[in-house]
Amino acid sequence: MLQNFMDDSGLTPAEVAARIGYSRSSLAVFLSGHYNVRVEGNTANTANIRAAIKGLIDEFTADTGEDLRAGGEIYQDATFKKVRQAFYSAVDHGHAYCLDGAPGTRKSFMLKRLCRELATVDANKNGHGRRAMYVYCKQDVPPCELLRRIAKAAGLPTKGSIAQLLRKLQFFLRGRRCVLALDEAQHLSVACIETVRELFDEPPHFGLIFAGSHAVQDLFNDLRLEQARQRLSRTIVLPGLVRDDVERIAEAEFGRKPPKSVIDDIIAESTVEDFRQTFAARRMDKAAGRSTYICARSVWFAIQRMKELAAAHKKGGVA
């Protein structure tokens, strides 16, 4: 438990020792598995150090619930239905997809919700259900670190070389339908994509979803990724919200249909520039105007702000 906690939290043994009030040497003895030697003072009993470690783990691994920034509901608009269809196609048939959307088009939100949905649907299949792994791809992540993140998402040990980690994923997930959702995939190198491709090409034939913004499609235009590009079933471009979407979301959140002025305010506050589209348009015509879209994340923030102001007004807190 302690080793997994350190892997998850990034704490070093020295930092853990300081937090639990033990010396580094005492913790090193505990981690080495020498439970019968004296670990502190004149006692050979590890109950106290185990209790301190367990208290630290429990303090920081309590269920924190939903991401407070994510918004509470998934609204069944055309975009979500398209992404959901691709997600289950990747799970059930081992297909690969690319989701290309500007920031705030709900890529991460939808993928995380679909992963949780699948886990709930297949929860009672006694270890034989389908598996979905969501992995955030940080900037310049090397292939071995990416595989560690994938193994962690799959609930597997994260130690070993690239070859060992691939074998773990293929061995422990054999015979199961799996999908790997790689978010912020524009950060991936050619080496990372080629490493992940082995999970697609070899049993258990993972389904793959590469989700990202700026240049995620351009990534697959690299001649070195010709094999990976040929495996993509489809690229789905995610648009921003339209006014009807905002009206439906606002009605659900407020519990009644808001007046037109409120919708106008939400849209005005949530309309942002699509820098990639603006840049592409101005390459063709220097006089081209700004390309904009309604950012779903900003819509949720605007609605939450209005709800907070309304609650404060009701309590007489603001004029």
Phi (first) and psi of residue 31, to 5 degrees: -65, -25
| pLDDT at position 116 | 92
How far is Cα 120 from Cα 279, in angstroms, rounded to an integer? 42
| pLDDT at position 70 | 46
In the three-class reduction of DSSP (H, G, I as helix; E, B as strand; rest coil), residue 240 is classed as: coil
How far lies 306's CA from each of 246, 309, 310, 313, in Å? 14, 5, 6, 10
Does residue 68 or residue 149 have the better pLDDT?
149
> Is there a contact between 202 and 163 (Cβ–Cβ < 8 Å)?
no
Interval 9-36 mean pLDDT: 88
| pLDDT at position 204 | 93
Q: Which of 68, 60, 56 is nearest to 16 (CA)?
A: 56
Residue 256 CB neighbour total at 10 angstroms: 8
| pLDDT at position 95 | 96
Together in a domain, 194 and 137? yes
Interval 10-17 mean pLDDT: 91
**68: confidence class by pLDDT, cuts 50, 70, 90:** very low
| pLDDT at position 123 | 86
Query: Which range of residues forms the domain containing residue 36?
Result: 2-60
> Over the stretch 105-125, which tens digit does the pLDDT of each residue have?
889 999 999 999 999 999 888
Q: Edge-to-edge strand order for the sheet containing 178-183?
A: 131-136, 178-183, 207-212, 96-101, 232-238
Interval 257-275 mean pLDDT: 92
Residue 69 confidence (pLDDT) above 70:
no
* 0.95 surpassed by pTM: no
Interval 14-35 mean pLDDT: 89
Compute the CA torsion angle 149, 153, 156, 159 (nearest 10 deg).
10
How far is Cα 186 from Cα 48, in angstroms, rounded to an integer? 47
> Over the stretch 137-196, which tens digit does the pLDDT of each residue have?
999 999 999 999 999 999 898 889 999 999 999 999 999 999 999 999 999 999 999 999
DSSP 3-state helix, strand, coil percentages of the chain (rounded to 5)?
Answer: 55, 15, 35
Domain boundary among 238, 272, 299: 238
| pLDDT at position 310 | 84
Interval 50-77 mean pLDDT: 69
Sign of the Cα pseudo-torsion (41, 43, 46, 50, in order): negative
Residue 316 confidence (pLDDT) above 50:
yes
CA count, 13 A, side-chain hemisphere, 73:
13
Together in a domain, 123 and 233? yes
Together in a domain, 93 and 110? yes
Residue 94 confidence (pLDDT) above 90:
yes
Asked if the bond preceding 142 is cis, omega within 30° of 0, the reply is no
Domain boundary among 238, 263, 294: 238
How far lies 25's CA from each of 29, 53, 226, 276, in Å? 6, 15, 52, 54
> Is there a contact between 93 and 178 (Cβ–Cβ < 8 Å)?
no
Q: Which residue type does 286 have?
A: K
Within a domain: 114: yes
Within a domain: 7: yes
> Over the stretch 268-307, which tens digit does the pLDDT of each residue have?
999 998 887 787 788 888 888 888 899 988 998 999 999 8
Together in a domain, 132 and 55? no
Compute the CA torsion angle 125, 126, 127, 129 (nearest 10 deg).
0
How far is Cα 290 from Cα 103, in angstroms, rounded to an integer? 16
Together in a domain, 146 and 103? yes
Within a domain: 272: yes
Domain boundary among 212, 238, 264: 238
Within a domain: 109: yes
Per DSSP, which regions of 174-268 are E strands? 178-183, 207-212, 232-238
**62: confidence class by pLDDT, cuts 50, 70, 90:** low
Within a domain: 66: no
State the chain's mean pLDDT as an integer: 87
